[in-house]
Structure 1
């Protein structure tokens, strides 16, 4: 299955608890950390929820 690389670009400090939980579910803990996740509709929704804290890396 296809994968997406996601990079955290901003801090989770000050973000609502549900967005912090979403970052944790994506596997992101630190700024500039890159994780590779499967390209599924649920993962796309999670990325969309925290789009201001992460970016999709090619």
Structure 2
């Protein structure tokens, strides 16, 4: 897949600790913050865990 742009679109307030840690591991933490990461299986698993809080675009 290559690189993906991940943008946080929803808050992590009142979310389980595992979801908060997943957002932090992606390098996010505030709404509308974006990061560009190389897609691999580990990143894919984190994305699936918090897919309701983020948007993912292929670069």
Report the TM-score when normalising by structure 1: 0.92
Q: Which whole-Å CA distance do the structure 2 matches of 1:3 and 1:57 have between them?
A: 9
Q: Which residue number in structure 1 is paired with residue 30 of structure 2?
A: 30
- Separation (CA, whole Å) in 1 of partners of 2:54 and 2:15: 13
Which structure 2 residue ranges, 5 or more long, are not aligned? Answer: none
Q: Which runs of 5 or more structure 1 residues have no equivalent in the other structure? A: none
Offset of residue 45 of structure 1: 0.7
Which residue of structure 1 aligns with residue 54 of structure 2? Answer: 54
Q: Structure 1, residues 11-32: CA drift from partner, whole Å, max 9, x if none? A: 0000000000000000001100
CA shift, 1:33, in A, is: 0.6
Q: Which runs of 4+ in 1 moved over 3 A?
A: none
Post-superposition offset of 1:57: 2.7
TM-score normalised over the length of structure 2: 0.91
When the two chains are superposed, the root-mean-square deviation of aligned CA atoms in Å is: 1.4
The number of residues matched between the two structures is: 58
